[in-house]
Amino acid sequence: MSHLPSQNCVTMMTRSRVLSRGWMSRVSLVCGLMLAAGSVSQAQLSMPPVRSSQLPSLGDGSDFSAAKERRLGDRIALSIFRDPDYIDDPVLGDYVQGIWQPLMAAARARGELSVELEERFAWKVMLVRDRSVNAFALPGGYLGVHTGLIAVVSSPDELAAVMGHELSHVTQRHISRLMTQQQQQMPWVIGAMILGALAASKNPEAANVAIVGGQAVAAQGQLNFSRDMEREADRVGFGVMVDAGFEASGVSAMFEKLQQASRLNDNGSFPYLRSHPLTTQRIAEARARIQTAPPSVLQAVPGNAHLHSMMSARARVLGDPGVDELRHMVDEAQRAVSAASPAAVLTPALAGSLYGGAFAASRLREHALARSFAARLKALAAKVPVAFSATHLLVVEVDVGAGKIAEAAAESRFASANSRAELMVQARALLAAGRAAEVSDKLQTWVVMHPKDALAWQLLSDAWGRQNQFSRAVRAEAESRVAQLDYPAALDRLRAAQELLRSGRGGADQNMHIESSIVDTRTRQVALLVREQSLEDKVDRKLQR
């Protein structure tokens, strides 16, 4: 499968390096179907901003229940959580959530997001360390965004265009509808046909191996159905994006970037074998319909462009670009500082350069330079509140990286933290400063409201461990595994906590009997989840035979 363009296969993240880690073994029965469904479309949106009630959908046509789809999505997500390229960066995550939540609200208001799907599906956005310009949707409400996509887009509107399209693939139940349509065909055969059809645009000989005789006809029908799904996602996604307050021009701008990104591996041939209409067609459609869209309500928010430029730079660094690229970002920041006058006003370009330079220099362990860039950015961002908040967290991160723990702790406004990014970044600084009690108090409140926050549980585990509350630390570690759907590992940790409590080594807390009751209850609950997961594995193995 290494010969396939990544944009055609990222729905299941079927890069060859990922396949070797066992992803395909978990989803082999549906891989071909989901590839054809076009869950990942390179965010190709273009249709007019109309409400769902104005145009008909393709029809539900799905016998695949929401509960089954969620279970399937959970199992695929588990593999993503285990992958080294999955990243939980709270700063970049908060920025993406700032785009995602308005899209969800718009989908809800338009009637695209039903009450059942909202309750049953995960609706989780995952960040993946990958320099390709892409995003993907999975069953059960899981969506993924590559760092390469965030690094390339020029505005929040372009990113909203991508995410709105992927959101619509999920709300319209495209994956389950496709699986229902093809339930009488052998999934392995379907997968071979679809992969061969997609390969034809680059290597016709490879396609001939996979598609022969009458199978090509079936594959063509499958791709046609996928094109219909893409057009439906175009229509719904465009409307959701615009209703969420984003600028409609972000759609056509995103198409142009995608066309440029794929020019080396896509010559435009074999359009009849594609699961998506040609990008040039969608660009034209998007431009024709922008005139009917309302103006953005978010463009006037001061600092939005600055924040996007900074987060784009952060995504470039998190994408693990290599020493040369990091050095280039540092040099770019140095040139920006040299060109700026002492009374310079912070522009989006300058904000991105300084932020990227500081973050890259910190990764290169050039801590003095990183702190210099961060301090310069902080001074310039004082009059741009949106940018200043992100800059403040950058200063804390850079100080921690430089070993300036006292300075980082002094910068932390932990007690008044009102976002996940503020809480997580400052918690790390305070843990390094030996203020674990403050961290555990704050994080206990947070995980009550956000029990599926794996990173928060991990930090809470660290905080409790530093206070010699060993059973609590192990239980928090177990909860972080539960949040990432790794129930066997969570059960192992909970049993370890039980053993600590039985042996009297649970820790210094005076309420160990309450802790013991909590651990016993959670052990029974997680054991039940493990048994359910094991039964599903047995069913899948039978179906594969």
> What are the pLDDT digits (tens) for 119-153?
999 999 999 999 888 888 888 999 999 999 999 99
Q: What residues are paired with 144 via a beta bridge?
A: 126, 136
Predicted pLDDT at 133: 85
DSSP 240-276: HHHHTT--THHHHHHHHHHHHHTTTT--S--GGG-SS
Q: Smallest Cα–Cα separation from 426: which of 394, 472, 378, 457?
A: 394
Predicted pLDDT at 299: 53
Contact yes or no for 189/215 (Cβ under 8 A): yes
CATH code of the domain occupying 301-434: 1.25.40
CATH topology classification for 437-545: 1.25.40
Predicted pLDDT at 103: 97
> What are the pLDDT digits (tens) for 175-185?
777 766 665 44
Which parts of 374-453 are beta strand (E)? none
Predicted pLDDT at 545: 59
Domain 301-434 identical in fold to domain 437-545: yes
Predicted pLDDT at 50: 38
Contact yes or no for 172/233 (Cβ under 8 A): yes
Entry pTM:
0.82
> What are the pLDDT digits (tens) for 192-220?
444 444 344 445 554 454 444 445 545 55
Rounded Cα–Cα distance for residues 119 and 222 (Å) = 30
Predicted pLDDT at 137: 87
Rounded Cα–Cα distance for residues 409 and 413 (Å) = 8
Rounded Cα–Cα distance for residues 357 and 354 (Å) = 5
Predicted pLDDT at 167: 93
Q: Which amino acid belongs to residue 527?
A: A
In sequence order, which residues have a C-beta less than 8 Å from that of residue 362 and are 6 or more positions away? 370, 397, 398, 401, 402
Predicted pLDDT at 270: 42
Q: Smallest Cα–Cα separation from 141: which of 70, 88, 83?
A: 70
Rounded Cα–Cα distance for residues 134 and 14 (Å) = 13
- Within 10 A of 291 (CB to CB), how many other CB atoms are there? 8
Among positive and negative, which fits the CA dihedral 210, 214, 215, 216? positive
Spans in the chain with pLDDT lower than 50:
1-61, 184-202, 206-207, 209-214, 217, 269-274
Q: Where are the domains of the chain?
A: 6-290, 301-434, 437-545
Structural Rg of the chain based on CA atoms: 24
How far lies 67's CA from each of 72, 208, 305, 308, 472, in Å? 9, 38, 40, 36, 32
Angle, vertex CA 458, rays to CA 456 and CA 460, nearest 5: 70
Predicted pLDDT at 93: 97
